[in-house]
């Protein structure tokens, strides 16, 4: 998306202190201009008419009307990219995920401690999310394909899913992309490990949401979890997740809390660990998101013989990570999330046939 001038941002939060801090944080970026701050959605309505913001940062809990209700009204009358600003309380994190399903682009969590260092970390994250939101494609909330569109069973197709391994990385827009993809897999889909850039405290709720929509059993990954067919494991926020292979088994291993590519967890960390898994057919998938996390890891997977897939431009909220991966030669196939399961089965069947000839 081409644009001229700074990104106009409206902050909607009932805390004057939070509005002040976020205004100061965002205004430090030369390409961002905060055009106003509103105490509640009713004040926001007037400021939207006045300033026509490019991005809105929206609190969850506010007086007179909560953020989720306002977002749903906003998507009908003024469909602008929205970043939810939430606490990490379970109810708030669930509401933030509901907001993403309703059309919000992304979510950030307000610091509960850590003083100025915590707010500085939020600043760096928020500035990048505003930039990503400003170039994002409009989203229309929708479900995945019906179960009748799911590919046939892997075992019925003559492919042992336990001899395969799927690794997925995503960022902005990824929550709905992952949900769509996992809604369209068969129940005997290969063991799957997922990194979605998401604040600590939100991943358990997100895993629960995925579990409700997918034939797979989806959980937030725990140290030592065994990867088997029919299960998917979502990396916990705030810590690096890797795969550890031993005696023919693959287990989850958590590492440091140091960011890689500015992210924790990082897609590259997961993908790099998957290159060391032997005896499995690896499938690497990079979905929507800003930046380049996962691109180099996907290239390493392709060089190691993995099947590599990137989300196509038209279905991405932000065609950033998959675009970089495609440009450096890491991507063999591109497809929308709903079509990826069928593509995987088709490619694996083709590889098996070629190997048998």
Of 92, 197, 205, 292, the catalytic one is 197
Hey, how many other C-beta atoms are within 10 angstroms of the C-beta on 51? 15
CB 290 within 8 A of CB 172: yes
Per-residue pLDDT of the chain (357 residues; tens, 9 = 90+): 445 689 999 999 998 988 998 898 899 899 999 999 999 999 999 999 999 999 999 998 888 888 899 999 999 988 999 999 887 666 677 888 898 889 999 988 888 766 777 777 777 788 989 999 998 876 655 444 444 466 789 999 899 999 999 999 999 999 999 999 999 999 999 999 999 999 888 899 999 999 999 999 999 999 999 999 999 999 999 999 999 998 889 999 999 999 999 999 999 999 999 999 988 999 999 999 999 999 999 999 999 999 999 999 999 999 999 999 999 999 999 999 999 999 999 999 988 887 776
Query: What pTM does this model have?
Result: 0.91
CB 81 within 8 A of CB 133: yes
Return the domain boundaries, the chain.
Answer: 7-134, 154-356
Annotation says 293 is catalytic: yes
Whose CA is closest to 327, among 313, 344, 307? 313
Whose CA is closest to 337, among 206, 204, 166, 200? 166
Hey, how many other C-beta atoms are within 10 angstroms of the C-beta on 253? 17
- Domain 7-134 top-level CATH class: alpha beta
Annotation says 197 is catalytic: yes
Angstrom distance (rounded) from CA 164 to CA 189: 9
Of 273, 293, 312, 315, the catalytic one is 293
The secondary structure element, H or E, covering residue 181 is: helix 174-183
pLDDT digits (tens, 9 = 90+) for 226-283: 999 999 999 999 999 999 998 889 999 999 999 999 999 999 999 999 999 988 999 9
Domains 7-134 and 154-356 in one fold:
yes
Q: What DSSP assignment string belongs to 286-350?
A: E-SBSS-TTHHHHHHHHHTT-EEEEE-GGG-SSBSHHHHHHHTT--SEEE-GGGHHHHHHHHHHH
Task: Report which DSSP code applies to 36.
Answer: E
Superfamily of domain 154-356: Methylesterase CheB, C-terminal domain (3.40.50.180)
Of all residues in the chain, the percent with pLDDT exceeding 90 is 69
Angstrom distance (rounded) from CA 345 to CA 15: 50
Whose CA is closest to 126, among 53, 207, 55, 48? 55
Cis peptide before 265 (omega within 30 of 0): yes
Of 171, 205, 214, 266, the catalytic one is 171
Angstrom distance (rounded) from CA 344 to CA 151: 9
pLDDT digits (tens, 9 = 90+) for 102-119: 999 998 888 876 677 777
């Amino acid at each position: 998306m081409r644009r001229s001038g700074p990104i106009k941002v409206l902050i909607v939060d009932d805390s004057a202190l939070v509005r002040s801090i976020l205004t100061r944080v965002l205004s430090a970026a030369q390409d961002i201009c905060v055009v106003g701050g509103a105490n509640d959605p009713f004040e926001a309505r007037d400021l939207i008419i006045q300033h026509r913001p490019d991005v809105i940062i929206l609190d969850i809990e506010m007086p007179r009307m909560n953020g989720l209700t306002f977002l749903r009204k906003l998507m009908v009358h003024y469909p602008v990219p929205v970043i939810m600003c939430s606490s990490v309380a379970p109810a708030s994190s669930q509401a933030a995920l509901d907001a993403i399903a309703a059309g919000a682009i992304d979510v950030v969590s307000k610091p509960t401690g850590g003083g100025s260092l915590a707010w500085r970390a939020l600043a760096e994250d928020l500035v990048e999310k505003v930039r990503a939101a400003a170039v994002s494609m409009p989203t229309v909330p929708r479900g995945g394909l019906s179960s009748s569109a799911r590919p046939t069973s892997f075992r019925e197709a003559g492919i042992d899913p336990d001899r395969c391994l799927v690794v997925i990385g995503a960022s902005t827009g990824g929550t709905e992309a992952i949900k769509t993809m996992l809604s369209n897999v068969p129940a005997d889909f290969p063991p799957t490990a997922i990194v979605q850039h998401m604040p600590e405290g939100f991943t358990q709720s997100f895993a629960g949401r995925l579990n409700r929509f997918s034939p797979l059993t989806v959980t937030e990954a725990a140290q030592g979890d065994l990867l088997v067919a029919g299960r998917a494991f979502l990396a916990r926020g705030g810590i690096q997740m890797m795969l550890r292979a031993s005696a023919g088994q693959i287990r989850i291993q958590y590492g440091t809390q140091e960011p890689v590519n500015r992210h924790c967890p990082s897609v590259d960390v997961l993908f790099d660990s998957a290159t060391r898994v032997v005896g499995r057919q690896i499938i690497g998938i990079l979905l929507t998101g800003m930046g380049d996390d996962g691109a180099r890891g996907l290239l390493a997977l392709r060089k190691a013989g993995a099947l590599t897939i990137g989300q196509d431009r038209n279905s991405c909220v932000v065609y950033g990570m998959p675009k970089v991966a495609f440009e450096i030669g890491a991507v063999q196939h591109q497809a929308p999330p709903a079509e990826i399961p069928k593509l995987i089965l088709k490619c694996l069947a083709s590889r098996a046939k070629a190997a048998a000839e």
